């Protein structure tokens, strides 16, 4: 599950009208000397525009999430909402050993269609007197479809491109993250759903020639994190493809394949609910990661 905390980065469309060309890279200037690159080929677009990862929605009864890792390390997220809505206005993230010195504030901005326009991350450390700012820009085509997300910071760029099934559900995400001098190396995650498209039952992730295949089983309870997605570089509460599935992941089987070997790993989870059926805690069965909601 530790590996699963890195989860899913979106990034933006530079030019949705670009001709196909599998070996061609277009460029777009970032904030610094680095430039964003395009995939160079088109991804599938849907017949129906859902933009489910652009809504910024979270159950407003969730005021915070507290994570205990391996029994002695901690992380905390606090959420602020636009008045009388389930729409995130701000997220504040604390690392345990920096609490009191450092916090990371994510400020959300929305466009006229009520989809995320940008998320600005400001990491401030008052003890060591430094500040790091990252901007996540959500890009849409003329039909209002989220095509990509770009992240710009002083030294790093990321780009994430989305492909869709005809019904509007996310089919695949290509992403790249690099600093000056790094080669362009796109990775991809592909999503396969159940027959009703309620839950992702399989995800295939290809990174630098290695393949990871994840198979998921679910409980029958509503997943409070569905649709809440920013980007891979942000630590957000996560079990499985949480932002794409209706229900909570009960178990994960991970198969890893490389040029030299392959192995299989199983993860199982336990969920606890209040008398009003709200999720209040979930954990892996070995208590390596225990999440508390509304702490």
pLDDT tens-digit readout, 204-244: 999 888 899 999 999 999 999 998 887 665 667 778 888 99
Domain span holding position 256: 3-293
- How high is the pLDDT of residue 235? 62
Residue 249 CA to residue 215 CA, distance in Å, equals 10
Pairing assessment for the beta strands 210-222 and 116-125 based on DSSP bridges = unpaired
**How far is Cα 278 from Cα 223, in angstroms, rounded to an integer?**
10
The C-alpha atoms of residue 46 and residue 172 are separated, in whole angstroms, by 12
Residue 54's φ and ψ, nearest 5 degrees, are -115, 5
Q: What is the pLDDT of residues 97-129, one digit of tens each?
A: 656 788 899 999 999 999 999 999 999 988 888
Total-model pTM? 0.84
Mean pLDDT of the chain: 84
Q: What is the pLDDT of residue 2?
A: 38
CATH number at residue 167: 2.40.160
Tens digit of each residue's pLDDT (9 = 90 or more) over 26-39: 444 444 567 888 89
Q: Is 208 left (phi over 0), alpha (psi -120 to 50) or beta?
A: left
Greater pLDDT, 293 or 153 = 293
d(CA 170, CA 218): 19
Contacts of 260 (CB under 8 A, 6+ apart): none
- Residue-wise pLDDT for 155-183, tens only, equals 889 999 999 999 999 999 999 988 887 88
Per the structure, the count of domains in the chain is 1
């Amino acid at each position: 599950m530790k590996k699963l905390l890195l989860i899913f980065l979106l990034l933006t469309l530079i030019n949705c009208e670009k001709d196909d060309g599998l070996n061609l890279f277009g460029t777009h200037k970032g904030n610094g000397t680095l430039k964003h690159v395009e995939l160079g080929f088109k991804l599938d677009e849907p017949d129906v525009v859902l933009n489910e990862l652009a809504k910024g929605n979270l159950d407003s009864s969730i005021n915070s999430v507290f994570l205990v890792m391996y029994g002695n390390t901690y992380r905390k997220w606090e959420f602020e909402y636009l008045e009388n809505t389930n729409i995130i206005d701000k997220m504040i993230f604390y690392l345990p050993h920096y609490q009191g010195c450092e916090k990371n504030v994510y400020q959300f901005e929305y466009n006229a269609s009520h989809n995320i326009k940008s998320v600005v991350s400001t990491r401030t450390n008052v003890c060591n007197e430094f500040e790091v700012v990252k901007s996540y820009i959500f890009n849409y085509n003329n039909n209002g479809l989220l095509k990509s997300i770009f992240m710009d910071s002083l030294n790093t760029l990321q780009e994430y491109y989305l492909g869709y099934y005809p019904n509007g559900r996310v089919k695949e995400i290509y992403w790249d993250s690099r600093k000056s001098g790094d080669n362009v190396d796109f990775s991809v995650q592909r999503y396969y759903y159940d027959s009703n498209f309620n839950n992702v039952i399989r995800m295939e992730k290809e990174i630098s020639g290695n393949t990871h295949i994840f198979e998921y089983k679910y409980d029958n309870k509503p997943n409070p994190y569905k649709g809440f997605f920013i980007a891979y570089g942000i630590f957000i509460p996560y079990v499985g493809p949480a932002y794409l599935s209706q229900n909570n992941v009960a178990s994960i089987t991970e198969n890893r394949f490389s040029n030299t070997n392959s192995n299989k790993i199983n993860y199982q989870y336990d969920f606890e609910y209040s008398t009003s059926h709200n999720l209040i805690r979930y954990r892996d069965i070995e208590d390596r990661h225990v999440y508390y909601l509304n702490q």
